[in-house]
Structure formats: C-alpha cells, structure tokens
Amino acid sequence: MQITDLKTEQKIPPLLRLGFRPFFLSGALFSVFAVTLWLLMYQGTISLSPLGGGYWWHIHEMIFGFGGAIIAGFLLTAVQNWTGARGAQGNTLLALWLLWLAGRILLIVPELLGENLSSLIDLAFLPTVAFVLAKPIIAIKQYRNLFFVPLLALFTLANTEMHLALYYPTSFNIAFAGYAGVMLVTFLMSVMAGRVAPMFTANGTKTPKVTPLPWLDKAANGSLAIAMFSLLLQPVIGFSGRFFGVLLIIAGILQTIRWLRWRPWLTLNVPLLWSLHTAMKFICFGLLLLGLSYLLPEVPSKHIWHLLTIGGMGGLILAMIARVSLGHTGRPLTPPKSMSIAFILISLAALVRTFGPWGLPEKTLLFIDISGGLWIGAFAIFIVGYAPMLISARKDGRPG
C-alpha cells in the first residue's frame, strides 16, 4: 500500500476503514439486543408491536438482521483480499451501515414510515451490499468470487418471501421463508468452511493440510443447495417433508465425512480452531437430526432447527469474527482467554434450547430463558473483548 493510501486512510475513523469493523461490532450488539427483546416479548414482560409481530420479527432479525450484518462485514472485508483493491470504507461504508441500521429500527417501530416503506428499506440492504461487492470483482474479472453476488440475491429472495408472507399469507409462508434463510446461511457456512477450515487447521496445529476431495465438497454443498431451493421454491412447487428429510440426512452424512477428514481432534488446544470445528459438528448433527424430524413425528423439528441456528450459525459466526477481527487489526491469532468461555456458552445455548423443551415441554419458557441468557453472555464477552480492537487503528500500522 502506497504512502498516499496510508495518509488517506488515516483521515477515516478506524471504525469505517473496513467492512468487518462496523458490521461485526453492530451485529454482535444487535444480537444481544434482539435476543433480550425477544425474551421480554415472549415472557409478556413488555408489550411491543414490531413488524409482523414478535414471532416473525424474531425469526427475521436473527437471520437477516444479525446474520445479514455479519455476512456483509465478512464479504466486504474478504473482497479486498480477493481483488487487491481497497474494500468499502469511509462514506460508502457508513451509508451501507446506516441502511442496515434503518432496517433494524423500522422493523421494531414500523409506524415511523409505515409497513410498506419499512419492508422496502429492509429489503434494499442486501442488494446494495451485492452491488458494492460486485464492482471490484467484475473490474478485475475475478469471476470465481462473483459467486457470492447471486448468493446475496437468493438471500434477498428469501427475505422478500418473508415480507410477502405478511401481506399475502395465503401464498407465502413465514416458516418456509425463514427456514430457507437458515438453509442459505448453512449453505454459505459450508462453502466458507470448505475454503478455510483445512487451511486454518493445518496452520494452527502445524500439521499437513488435508488433501481436498472436490467431489465431496460439491456433494456436501450441492445437497444443501437442493434443500435450500426446495424451501425457497415452496410457494411454486409445494413441499415434501419426506423428500426434505431424506435430503437433510444425506447432507448431514456428507458434512460429517468432510468434517472428520479435517481432523477436529487435533484442535482441542486451540480455541479459534475447536470453536470452528464445534460449530461444524452442530451443522453435521443438526442436519441429521433435523432430517429425522421430517420423517418421524416424535422428533420436534421446531426445536431441532436451533441446532443449526444457535450451534451452527451462532457458533461459527462467533468463531469466525473472533479470528477475522484479530487478523485484520494486526494482532496475533490469540483471542482473549474469556473467548473460550464464550464458545462454550454458545454451544450450551444450542443444547439447552433444542433438548430442554423436547424433554420437558412444560418447562419450555424456562429453557428459552436459559438459552437466551447463554447467547447474550457469549456475545457480550465478544463485545467487551473486541470492541476496543474494532474501533481503533491496526496495531501494525497497516491499512485496514
């Protein structure tokens, strides 16, 4: 990076120098706020009328609000590594962040601008991120990574279906649209884990990198893609629970084979690695059990989904933002010791939320409270440990 680039960047507040900074911090803060608010609404402690009601709002905001922020931060940061061009920063990054924030505020208080406009503003965020992401990729013709642009378009489609379910409930279903969003996040996690987990494991354990099996990656990701499209296209083609269940079991088996090839047992002394592998295990186990839930009525699918959303999505996000934030702020890849507690808490949150209400349905509210508290604790630890890094300049004086 030339000296002139460094001087230009020094005029930009550190929080706006690269996408991971505002979106990782805001995403983590919002997840704590959103889970707290959901618990209070679920208990009946507060009376609030967010867009779509409490149930719709909780599903939507954890996938597209929290998840959307983290995905945006990750991609807007990664594109700099892919292309060698500076990622979104300064006013461009601020505008993206304000658009995301406007969506979060308007969905809580839709009467500010009305329901229709609130929906449109929320729906505008991911396409805008896709546009900013695509420009440098297309400019240098690095079409391999252009893959993430249509993926963001699919996220937008799932988000659109969630909003349409409010206005046209006979044509669109909230649950199917929300589950499509979860499966999209799971697909993205699978793709990214396939790219980074073998390398991270080899580097972190000083062992040889596992030889990739392209057919296994394609089969593992492809089965998730088919499951995702079966949910996304449900308003057009209908939904077969038996087909979906069998497909998830196949996906779970393929994910498990791939995960075992990455040798997770080597990572037990490296928190940034075992946390990543634990999240992948939740994805493997979650897919298998969720598949069974669509074949066996005794297995409650509404609870099993939380193995993917809390253990898989929440766990992998926590592991990845803890690592990316260190690397891109010029620090050694050694997280604060408290992060090990955070990684354990997020795993416990998934187990309590899934198996507590299943085993003792009369205590469901208690288990939801405990799980929510564990989630809040996990991300609060991240916020306390990482906020000072995210709002200050890199330790090594380099741009970013």
Q: How far apart are CA 309 and CA 179, in angstroms?
A: 10
pLDDT bucket at 254, cuts 50 / 70 / 90: very high
pLDDT bucket at 6, cuts 50 / 70 / 90: low
Tokens of 267: 């990572």
> How many residues appear in the chain?
400
pLDDT digits (tens, 9 = 90+) for 7-49: 677 789 999 999 999 999 999 999 999 999 999 999 989 989 9
The answer to whether the CB of 175 falls within 8 A of the CB of 63 is no
pLDDT digits (tens, 9 = 90+) for 314-370: 999 999 999 999 999 999 999 999 999 999 999 999 999 999 999 999 999 999 999
The answer to whether the CB of 89 falls within 8 A of the CB of 13 is no
Mean pLDDT, rounded, of the chain: 94
Tokens of 197: 């987990």
User: Distances from the Cα of 91 to the Cαs of 18, 87, 100, 173, 181, in angstroms?
Assistant: 11, 12, 14, 38, 29
**How crowded is residue 384: how many other Cβ atoms within 10 Å of its Cβ?**
12
pLDDT digits (tens, 9 = 90+) for 263-313: 999 999 999 999 999 999 999 999 999 999 999 999 999 999 999 999 999
pLDDT digits (tens, 9 = 90+) for 141-175: 777 888 899 999 999 999 999 999 999 999 999 99
> What is the end-to-end Cα distance of the chain in Å, rounded?
11
pLDDT bucket at 5, cuts 50 / 70 / 90: low
User: Distances from the Cα of 208 to the Cαs of 198, 217, 274, in angstroms?
Assistant: 9, 19, 17
**Helix intervals (H) in the chain:** 3-10, 20-43, 53-60, 67-83, 90-108, 115-139, 148-167, 174-205, 214-232, 234-237, 241-261, 271-293, 301-306, 315-327, 338-359, 364-390
9, amino acid identity: E
**222 Cβ contact list (under 8 Å, min separation 6):** none
Q: How far apart are CA 217 and CA 226, in angstroms?
A: 14
pLDDT given for residue 219 in this prediction: 97
Tokens of 355: 């198996």
Per mean pLDDT, which range of 1-5, 103-107, 377-381 is the poorest?
1-5
pLDDT digits (tens, 9 = 90+) for 222-253: 999 999 999 999 999 999 999 999 999 999 99
**How crowded is residue 265: how many other Cβ atoms within 10 Å of its Cβ?**
10
**Structure-derived torsion over alpha carbons of residues 2, 8, 13, 16, reported in degrees to the nearest 10:** -70
Is pLDDT of 377 > 70? Answer: yes
**Structure-derived torsion over alpha carbons of residues 200, 217, 223, 147, reported in degrees to the nearest 10:** 80
pLDDT digits (tens, 9 = 90+) for 84-99: 888 889 999 999 999 9
Q: How far apart are CA 31 and CA 19, in angstroms?
A: 18
The vertex-150 CA angle with 127 and 230, nearest 5°, equals 110
3-state SS assignment for residue 399: coil
Q: How far apart are CA 165 and CA 249, in angstroms?
A: 28
219, amino acid identity: A
pLDDT (average), residues 108-124: 97
C-alpha dihedral sign at 259, 262, 264, 267: negative
Is pLDDT of 1 > 70? Answer: no
What are the phi and psi torsion angles at 297 (to 5°)? -65, -20
